[in-house]
Structure 1
Amino acid sequence: MGSLILSLLPLILGGTLVPAQIIINILLLQSPRQGLLKSAAYVCGMTLLRLLQGLFFLLVLGRSTADSAGKSGGKGPVVSTLLLVLGILLLITAYKKWLKEDDPDAPPPRWLTRIASLTPLKAFGIGFSIVLIGPKFWVFTLSALGTISEAKVGLQSSIVAFFLFILLTQTSVLLPLFIRIISPRRSQTMLQKFSTWLTRYDRVILIVVSFAFGVFFLYQGVSGLV
């Protein structure tokens, strides 16, 4: 199990370090009314979609991945292809973000100004949708599931590993939520400063993270296929 978690670690880190999902959660937490409930609903929406992705993979792709892994011994073609696609997507994201210079005097995006006014139900929908429509989220989860399937650790251990993947991948949204629960008053200032810093350096963070993980996953995918 330990070696399997280490194999999943790059995917966990890549899925965690997505500035947009963190900013949305912090803005929800800073809502004047029901901020905690909105954040919890948002996290639940993300979690539900990832669980459904796991069910989809188990029913549709699980057998083919296990069979291919058993024949080749190492990363099978399904996981290698997913990693290759993920690497390309991340490199494209880094390139597009690098080309587009941010205007420091520009107003914040319209969707950012509307986050605080969302209801808990809409926050749940945002959490569900951000994973549903994000291709990188799909490939991250499917690559993790493929890695778990190829490890052949048994059904029970595979389920535990997948739940750990979901939990650790959502650390960046769970941690601010826990901070708000533990210290409601002090957390407001902390979250405001972190949100300001994250918004200011969002472009740089996204470029560095996307490029670094893009190169890594591209290498993993190519080496697995050849």
Structure 2
Amino acid sequence: MWSDFGELIALALGIAISPMPVLGVILMLMAPRGMSAGAGFAFGWIGGVGLAVSIFSLLSSLLPARGSEGPDTAFGLTPVIVGAALVAVGVIQIWRRARGQADDDAAELPRWLSAVDKLTVTRSVVLGFSYAFLRPKNLVITIAAGLVIGRAEPGVAGTAIALGVFTVIASVTIAAPPLAYALGGEQVKATLVRLRVWLLANLALITGMTLILIGIALVVLGFVSL
């Protein structure tokens, strides 16, 4: 049980600690219609993560019941495979930075980040949902999370709690900036500006180290559950 819970938290952190969407939310908050756009993006993100992990959790319940050797092995190996993939991607990120290919992080930013000041609430919601649901890394992680929940067979109430915990943890870094801005106003703005500068300067390193640490945790937890 604790192994399943640990895997679920590690997977959720793999989505939560994503510098690019956090940077996007901060840039939205700096725009003229920042609060509405940032809140819309966070709302869409939460919906995208919640829907994705719910779908894959439901699909995992259609797999053969736990107890036979094949399905248990497949369930147990999923976090190991995902963790190894995250470690590999993280190493590549850091290696590219070390070789000087990621020094100019601004050149690698997606185009939507340069147009955040033009986002309407509707577009920001759609963007947040799409980024959370369709981003390859998030998609792989939510598939793994769905399999972990399916393997644990927690029942209806337990599944609802697991889905809620996963969604909250995976969304906390996206929802926190708009919430802090709404509560703190201009006093928080200066902190967000400093965070934006730091993220722009360290995107590749933050992403790489995060993926490596979370990947290692998943590999260890996956082997423990086998």
Interval containing the TM-score (normalised by the shorter chain):
0.7 to 0.9
Residue 2 of structure 1 deviates from its aligned partner by: 6.9
Could you give the per-residue CA deviations for residues 185-222 of structure 1, whole angstroms, max 9, x where no partner exists?
1111111111111111111111211222234434555x
Partner of 1:166: 167
The letter of the residue matching 1:91 is A
Cα distance change of structure 1 residues 95 and 62 upon mapping to structure 2, 3 Å threshold: same
Residue 45 of structure 1 deviates from its aligned partner by: 1.4
Q: Is the CA contact (8 Å cut-off) linking 1:42 and 1:124 kept in structure 2? A: yes
For 2:38 and 2:106, the matched residues in 1 are separated by 27
Gaps spanning 5+ residues in structure 2: where?
Answer: none
Partner of 1:50: 49
For 2:214 and 2:6, the matched residues in 1 are separated by 15
Residues 105-124 of structure 1: pairs in structure 2 closer than 5 A: 109=109, 110-124=111-125
Paired positions, count: 222
Cα distance change of structure 1 residues 196 and 116 upon mapping to structure 2, 3 Å threshold: same
SS in 2 for 1:63: coil
Cα distance change of structure 1 residues 47 and 75 upon mapping to structure 2, 3 Å threshold: farther
Residues 24-63 of structure 1: pairs in structure 2 closer than 5 A: 24-33=24-33, 35-63=34-62
Cα distance change of structure 1 residues 105 and 96 upon mapping to structure 2, 3 Å threshold: closer
For 1:186 and 1:147, the matched residues in 2 are separated by 41
For 1:105 and 1:97, the matched residues in 2 are separated by 13
Gaps spanning 5+ residues in structure 1: where?
Answer: none
Residue 22 of structure 1 deviates from its aligned partner by: 0.6
Residues 85-104 of structure 1: pairs in structure 2 closer than 5 A: 85-100=82-97, 101=100, 102-104=102-104
Residues 182-221 of structure 1: pairs in structure 2 closer than 5 A: 182-218=183-219
The letter of the residue matching 1:11 is L
TM-score, with length taken from structure 2: 0.83
Query: Quick check: 72-81 or 8-17, which moved more?
Result: 72-81
Query: Quick check: 99-108 or 116-125, which moved more?
Result: 99-108
For 1:2 and 1:176, the matched residues in 2 are separated by 31
Cα distance change of structure 1 residues 108 and 117 upon mapping to structure 2, 3 Å threshold: farther
For 2:137 and 2:217, the matched residues in 1 are separated by 15
Q: Is the CA contact (8 Å cut-off) linking 1:91 and 1:215 kept in structure 2? A: no
Q: Is the CA contact (8 Å cut-off) linking 2:38 and 2:178 kept in structure 1? A: yes
Cα RMSD for the two superposed structures: 2.9
For 2:56 and 2:104, the matched residues in 1 are separated by 42
Cα distance change of structure 1 residues 173 and 120 upon mapping to structure 2, 3 Å threshold: same
Residue 139 of structure 1 deviates from its aligned partner by: 1.9
Partner of 2:152: 151
SS in 2 for 1:160: helix
The letter of the residue matching 1:44 is F
Residue 27 of structure 1 deviates from its aligned partner by: 0.9
For 2:2 and 2:84, the matched residues in 1 are separated by 25
TM-score, with length taken from structure 1: 0.83
- % same residue: 23
SS in 2 for 1:113: helix
Cα distance change of structure 1 residues 2 and 59 upon mapping to structure 2, 3 Å threshold: closer
